[in-house]
Amino acid sequence: MMDRHEPSALPEALLDELRARFGDRCSTAAAVREQHGRGESPFPATPPDVVVFAENEAEVQAVLALCNTQRVPVIAFGAGSSLEGQLLATRGGVCLDLSRMNHIVRIDVSDFTATVQAGVTKEQLNAALRTEGLFFPVDPGAHASLGGMAATRASGTNTVRYGSMRENVLALTVVMSDGRVVHTGTRAVKSAAGYDLTRLFVGSEGTLGVITEVTLRLFPLPESVSAAVITFSDAHSAVSTVIEAIQAGLPIARSEYLCARSIRAINTATPELALRERPTLFMEFHGSPASLEEQIGLLSEIAQQHAGEDFQWAERPEERTRLWQARHHAYYSCRQVRAGAQIITTDTCVPRSRLAESIEGAAAIMADAPFPHMIFGHVGDGNFHVLMVVDPDSEAERDRAEALNEAIVHLALSMGGTCTGEHGIGYHKKAFLLRETGAPAVDLMRQIKSVLDPHGILNPDKIF
C-alpha cells in the first residue's frame, strides 16, 4: 500500500482564480476528484484538490504559470488508462484534464503525417484517416489519448512491424512548468538539428512538461489483411514459432501470445469464440493478396515444425475484429474470473532470443501463486504481461503479488531486458528503474528534471 506524501496546501486565492477563469470547468466535487486520482493502477485513489478541464493551449499555459508561482503540483490527465500510478496526486494540487483538447489540427496525406491536440484518441484519429486510405498503427489496447500515449511511450499489438510511440512521434508542442511553450521536431521524417527534445519528452510521464499537440507518422492502409490463430502444447513452441517467422523475414504486423488460462478467461467473457484452451498465438499479416498467401504458407510450415495445431485463418473484417477485440479485452476478461478483484500486472521486455526462457521462468515463478494469474503479451517484440488477480482487501495477497512481480522483473533484467516495455515507471516501478539503469543514470534524470521543472510541480513523486 502507498502512503500519500505531505500535500502542498492549495492557496485559496489560486482556487478563486481558477474558478473565475474556468467556471464550471473547475471542479472540487469529490466524485470528479476521485475519478482523476486513480487510473488503472492497483493503488487506491489519491485525488487532487481540484480538477481543471482545459480546452486550448493558452489555458494550459495559464494553469501552469499560476501553479508554478504558487508551487502547487500539476498532474496532466488524458484518458485515465495508465497502469503504474502515473495519475496519483500524491501531494494534492491541480489535475489538468486535457480530454477536451480533442481537435485534429491537420492531416497531410502527401507527407503521411497528422497533427492532433493531446486529447484526441487513436480511435478518433483513425476514423478520420479511413477515407484517406491511411491509419495510425500504435495500438496499446486501451481507449487512450494520443498525448497520454506519447507521455508514456506507449506501444502495443502492432509494434513488431510499425514501432512504438518513440518511432512514430515526429514533433511535439509542450508547455513547460512556468507556462512557456516549446516546439520540438518538425514534420520532416528526420533531422540532425540539436538535441532530440522530442524523444526527451516522449516517455517523460508528465514530469518535464505538459504535451498539448503531437505530430505523428502515418501509414497506408494495407491492401489485404489476414489473421491467424494457432495453438501449441507449450509456451516455448509458440514463441519459437514467432522468432523463426521473424528470422525468415515474414512481415508480421501483430503477434500475440496467450496462455491457456488467458484463453479460458476470454472464452468465459466471449463464449462465441470457443477457442481451444491451450497456449495460443494470435497473428496478423498485412500486404497484397499474393504476398499474404505466401506468408501464410510459410508460417504454417514453421508452426507445424513446432507441433502447432488448430490453424484458423480470419480474412473477413468482422472475423478479425472479433478476434482482436477479444485480445484487447483480455485484461478485463481476466479480471472477471474473480468478482471484485484487482489486477497487479508486470510488463517486462527482453531480447527476443531470451523470450521463451523469460516466459517459462515467469510461469515457474508464478506456479505456487495463491490467486488466479495469466500470461499474455506482444511476443513479436519480446514484451509480455503477467496478470495477478488479487483480493484488494487482502494485504497478504497484495504483498505476495508484489514479491512475485519483483522476481519476474529481476529475471528480465538478468537477461538484458527492462522492467517495463510499455507501461512506464510511474509511482509503482521507481525501485526497478534504479536497479535497471543504475544511480548515475537516475541522477542525470533528476538533473534534467530540476532544470526543466525547478520547483518540482510537474507530476511529483513519479519515475524517481
Cα 61 to Cα 254: distance, rounded to the nearest angstrom = 39
Coil vs helix vs strand at 98 = coil
Length of the chain: 464
Q: 166 and 57 in one domain? A: yes
Could you tell me if 231 and 164 are in contact, meaning their C-beta atoms sit under 8 angstroms apart?
Answer: no
Sign for the CA dihedral angle at 72, 76, 82, 84 comes to negative
Residue 108: name the closest of 215, 198, 222 by CA: 215
Do 372 and 252 have their domain in common?
no
Does residue 315 sit in the same domain as residue 264?
A: yes
Q: Identify whether the C-beta of residue 384 lies closer than 8 Å to the C-beta of residue 376.
A: yes
Tell me, yes or no, whether 11 and 99 share the same domain: yes
Give the strands of the sheet with 104-108, arranged side by side: 104-108, 113-117, 210-217, 169-175, 181-185
Same domain, 107 and 252: no
Tell me how far apart the alpha carbons of residues 143 and 155 are, in angstroms, rounded to a whole number: 13
Residues 3, 133, single domain; the answer is yes
Give the type of residue at 53: F
- The answer to whether 160 and 146 are in contact (CB under 8 A) is no
The tens place of each residue's pLDDT in the chain, 464 residues long, gives 455 555 556 899 999 999 999 999 999 999 999 999 988 888 889 999 999 999 999 999 999 999 999 999 999 999 998 989 999 999 999 999 999 999 999 999 999 999 999 999 999 999 999 999 999 999 887 789 999 999 999 998 889 999 999 999 999 999 999 999 999 999 998 899 999 999 999 999 999 999 999 999 999 999 988 888 999 999 999 999 999 999 988 889 989 999 999 999 999 988 888 889 999 999 998 988 888 888 888 999 999 999 999 888 877 787 788 777 777 778 888 888 998 899 999 999 999 999 999 999 999 999 999 999 999 988 889 999 999 999 999 999 999 999 999 999 999 999 999 999 999 999 999 999 999 999 999 999 999 999 999 999 999 999 99
**Confidence at residue 8, expressed as pLDDT on a 0 to 100 scale:** 58
Task: Give the domain-ending residue among 220, 247, 263.
Answer: 220
Exposed/middle/buried for 461, CB within 10 Å: 0-12, 13-18, 19+?
buried
240 is written with which cell numbers? 519459437
Residues 304 and 376 in one domain: no
Strand partners, 114: 107, 216
The verdict on residue 296 lying in a domain is yes
> What per-residue confidence (pLDDT) applies to 1?
45
Domain that holds residue 109: 1-220
Do 66 and 132 lie in one domain? The reply is: yes
Contacts of 156 (CB under 8 A, 6+ apart): 138, 139, 140, 141, 164, 378, 422
With CA atoms as reference, report the closest residue to 64 among 149, 145, 174, 148.
174
Asked whether residue 446 is domain-assigned, the answer is no
Domain end (from 281, 298, 332): 332
Q: Are residues 167 and 197 in the same domain?
A: yes
What pTM does this model have? 0.93
Domain boundary among 332, 361, 391: 332
pLDDT computed for residue 3 by the predictor: 52
